[in-house]
Amino acid sequence: MQVDLFDYELPESLIAQTPLANRTASRLLTLDKRTGEIGHHGFEQLEQYLQAGDVLVLNDTRVIPARLFGVKPDTGAKAEVLLLKQLEGDAWEALVRPGKRLRAGARIQFGGNSDDGQDGGKEPLLTATVESEGEMGTRVLRFSYEGIFNEILDRLGHMPLPPYIKEQLPERERYQTVYAKHQGSAAAPTAGLHFTEEYLHRLEQKGIQLAYVTLHVGLGTFRPVAADTIEEHDMHEEYYEVTPETARKINEARARGGRVVAVGTTSARTLETAAREDGTLEAGSGWTGIFIYPGYRYRIVDALLTNFHLPKSTLMMLISALAGRERVLAAYKEAVEREYRFFSFGDAMFIY
């Protein structure tokens, strides 16, 4: 299947550059996956499409300040690192710039005199050594430091906003969900950014259950498709976890006829990774490279809350597998005509 089939026209002016002051103030486009009927609402009207007995599944990953700016101590040349996933101990998989100058054995220093604008001390707070070159242009870096890595990262790192966002983030927490818990993501699960604690509580009072999964967002979620056909694209693996409590809650709800509503494509991919053939969910953790595109039959996910995605992205393919490509593209065309806000800080879409 050709990747170009998932393309659409988007004026640059519709790419949201900053989050709204109120998380729940965004707009909501609804799409009936059976009939193709499209509706236009405010986000808080989502509850009208949910009913007692449904389970809302949220990804509780927490974004780390994964973008680091440093220098090569031997030449003084500037270098940039984007941490993707922790491998073991102090080893991380990362993207680096400039890649051609950062081969195995190269060192990068951060903080101290590394001129990253974050710290004025003399000794570097953090040093990375390139151990090897990985797949898809990645590097394996091993860090050395004194103290606690996460505290140093919090001090030196920058939030890894997507390249289409040109504005500065007013505060870091606006690129976190209110329920973010487990550190490890290189990007936010953005469908969850629309929720406040108050609105989640309101849904619970209505009899809608909340369940949490973890998927640390990495290169697999946001890497562009370089191939001409879907079948040629390789997904990058990301770490996921489904707790026994979440598996039990979802299996019991499905047995009673309740729907499983995934908040975000990362939650959907986690659920489908852990799905058994019989439509039940298995607790566990590991690495997933699941690639969902038209022809895939969902085993667990009944409905999906998501943001609007980049043209020709794997996420366009994922939602097309749920609602049908032509229906999705028709909904996107209407969203463009009505000037919805797109991508990470944009409006929401509910496929049911």
User: What's the confidence (pLDDT) of residue 117?
Assistant: 44
Q: Tell me the pLDDT tens digit for each residue of 135-177.
A: 778 999 999 999 999 999 999 999 999 999 999 888 999 999 9
Q: What is the mean pLDDT of the chain?
A: 95
Distance of CA 93 to the CA centre of its chain: 17
Bridge partners (DSSP) of residue 88 are 91
Q: What average pLDDT does the segment 108-114 reach?
A: 82
Q: pLDDT-based confidence at 113, cuts 50/70/90?
A: low
DSSP string across 241-309: EE-HHHHHHHHHHHHTT--EEEESHHHHHHHHHTB-TTS-B--EEEEE-----TT---SS-SEEEEE--
Tell whether the model's pLDDT for residue 120 goes beyond 80.
no
Task: Say how many C-beta atoms besides its own lie within 10 A of residue 327's C-beta.
Answer: 21
Tell whether the model's pLDDT for residue 307 goes beyond 50.
yes
User: What's the confidence (pLDDT) of residue 116?
Assistant: 47
Q: Which domains does the chain have, with CATH numbers?
A: 3-63+170-351 (3.40.1780.10), 68-158 (2.40.10.240)
b/e map 162-171, b = 16+ CB within 10 Å: eeebeeeeee
Secondary structure letter of residue 46 according to DSSP: G
Cβ partners under 8 Å of residue 143, min gap 6: 90, 91, 92, 126, 127, 128, 149
Q: pLDDT-based confidence at 121, cuts 50/70/90?
A: low
Task: Say how many C-beta atoms besides its own lie within 10 A of residue 189's C-beta.
Answer: 30
Predicted TM-score of the model (pTM): 0.92
Residue 242: closest CA among 207, 280, 208, 185: 280
